[in-house]
Amino acid sequence: MTKPRVRDLLERKGDPLQLEALTGDVGLDREIPTSEASSPGLVLAGYTKRFAAHRLHILGETEVTYLASLDATARRRALETLFQFDLPCIVISKGQDPPADLLELARAKGVAVIRTRLKTAEFYRRLKPFLDEAFAPATTVHASLADVFGVGLLFFGRSGIGKSECVLDLVERGHRLVADDVVHITRRGNDVLIGRGHELSQHYMEIRGVGLIDIRALFGIRAVRQQKRIEVVVQLEDWEATREYDRTGIDGQTTQVLEVTLPLVTVPLNPGKNLTVVCEVVAMNHLLRYSGVDSARLFNDRLLKRLAERRQLQEYLEEDNE
């Protein structure tokens, strides 16, 4: 995984962090080694035990005011204590002017000092999604991803089995393509997987015998989306007459992607099967289960109840001696 650099913070599209470099190009190519950020805290007072130097360090109003309250000698000593560590970057919040000694030592150590106009808490809030995404576990899979009734269906299957054709039919029925053939997956938090297409082939689809087609150009903007949470994995397989397939759905299958457990639906393919409708039902059934209605278990409960009633009736008739 390529770690982000300090320069990436400054070059974020739309400038949501409102940053400016106070030390020019110094230290902008340093890597940010972790997704965590903190303030130097007691290090400025000389206590360096348990100091996490590898984090991005933010000097808020408290730290800057504290440094300003020190005499020149004490301030220099405090800053030298801070810069004895290999820091990735220092951020000054609330548009404050840092001490001249801080900029001097930062340039000497090759550490970037950048300033944001945001308050410290707001900067933390905006910084966290960027760092979480940059350090999120990720993988690339050979699959297709579609948004069907708001449910992200990730289609797996051997090459040529019909993943693209299935998604194309879903798009024609009003659903949305996210990615075809190559799906980049990142994990957010502990249990959320986000899928998107490759930046070059996004919204393009390969149909054997036809070639590459542009789904957005053919069906319009409503037929595509940039990314989607993956909620169900659909495994397309060739039909095997000797294999037993799940016919009730009571004992649901699961699979893992990036250590996240997802429902798995295996769909065997044979001539005449309306795969598109089956996939729509998979999505609707997932929504139904999410709302607390499990059709398979409800049917099983009804069946067990009926069997119990018949058993009671049979026992009653056997005990009736008249």
**Per annotation, catalytic residue among 57, 163, 196, 286:** 163
222 within 8 A of 180, measured Cβ to Cβ:
no
| Residue 163 a catalytic site member | yes
What range does the domain containing 172 cover?
138-291
Residues 94 and 152 in one domain: no
Residues 208 and 256 in one domain: yes
Mean pLDDT, residues 22-48: 91
Instruction: Please state whether the predicted TM-score (pTM) of the whole model is above 0.85.
Output: no
Q: Of 100, 134, 168, at which residue does a domain stop?
A: 134
**Per annotation, catalytic residue among 15, 97, 125, 142:** 142
Residues 232 and 304 in one domain: no
Confidence of residue 185 (pLDDT cuts 50, 70, 90): very high
Residues 110 and 238 in one domain: no
Q: At what angle do helices 275-290 and 163-172 cross, to 10 degrees?
A: 70
Residue 315 has what pLDDT? 62
Q: Which residues pair with 238 in a beta bridge?
A: 269
Residue 54 has what pLDDT? 92
Residues 277 and 157 in one domain: yes
Q: Evaluate whether residue 219 is within a structural domain.
A: yes
Is the pLDDT assigned to residue 202 strictly greater than 90?
Answer: no
Confidence of residue 319 (pLDDT cuts 50, 70, 90): low
Residues 164 and 252 in one domain: yes
Residue 57 has what pLDDT? 93
Residue 239 has what pLDDT? 85
Q: How far apart are CA 128 and CA 211, in angstroms?
A: 42
Residue 298 has what pLDDT? 72
Q: Evaluate whether residue 1 is within a structural domain.
A: no
Is the pLDDT assigned to residue 2 strictly greater than 70?
Answer: yes
Residue 56 has what pLDDT? 92
Confidence of residue 90 (pLDDT cuts 50, 70, 90): very high
**Per annotation, catalytic residue among 50, 71, 247, 320:** 247
Q: Evaluate whether residue 96 is within a structural domain.
A: yes
Number of structural domains (the chain) is: 3
Residues 245 and 179 in one domain: yes
| % of the chain surpassing 90 pLDDT | 57
Residues 170 and 230 in one domain: yes
Q: What is the 3-state secondary structure (H, E, C) of the chain?
A: CCCCEHHHHHCCCCCCCCEEECCCCCCCCCECCCCCEECCHHHHHCCCCCCCCCCEEEECHHHHHHHHHCCHHHHHHHHHHHHCCCCCEEEECCCCCCCHHHHHHHHHHCCEEEEECCCHHHHHHHHHHHHHHHCCCEEEEECEEEEECCEEEEEECCCCCCHHHHHHHHHHCCCEEEECCEEEEEEECCCEEEEEECCCCCCEEEECCCEEEEHHHHHCHHHECCEEECCEEEEEEECCCCCCCCCCCCCCEEEEECCEEEEEEEEEECCCCCHHHHHHHHHHHHHHHHCCCCHHHHHHHHHHHHHHHHHHHHHHHHHCCC
| Residue 142 a catalytic site member | yes
Q: Of 112, 134, 156, at which residue does a domain stop?
A: 134
| Residue 175 a catalytic site member | no
Is the pLDDT assigned to residue 322 strictly greater than 70?
Answer: no
Residue 189 has what pLDDT? 82
Is the pLDDT assigned to residue 285 strictly greater than 80?
Answer: yes
Mean pLDDT, residues 299-305: 72
Confidence of residue 208 (pLDDT cuts 50, 70, 90): confident
What's the half-sphere exposure (Cβ side, CA atoms, 13 Å) at 113?
21
Question: Which residues neighbour 235 within 8 Å (Cβ) at sequence distance 6 or greater?
Answer: 156, 157, 255, 264, 265, 266, 267
**Per annotation, catalytic residue among 132, 169, 181, 294:** 181
Confidence of residue 249 (pLDDT cuts 50, 70, 90): low
- CATH classification at residue 37: 3.40.1390.20
Residue 26 has what pLDDT? 92
Q: Of 134, 169, 193, at which residue does a domain stop?
A: 134
Residue 13 has what pLDDT? 66
pLDDT averaged over every residue in the chain: 88
Residue-wise pLDDT tens digits, 228-247: 999 999 999 988 877 776 66
Is the pLDDT assigned to residue 38 strictly greater than 70?
Answer: yes
Residues 176 and 130 in one domain: no
Q: Evaluate whether residue 154 is within a structural domain.
A: yes
Which has the minimum average pLDDT: 25-29, 51-55, 142-146, 238-242? 238-242
- CATH classification at residue 197: 3.40.50.300
Residue-wise pLDDT tens digits, 112-130: 999 999 999 999 999 988 8
Is the pLDDT assigned to residue 22 strictly greater than 90?
Answer: yes
Q: Evaluate whether residue 153 is within a structural domain.
A: yes
| Residue 203 a catalytic site member | no
Residues 238 and 194 in one domain: yes
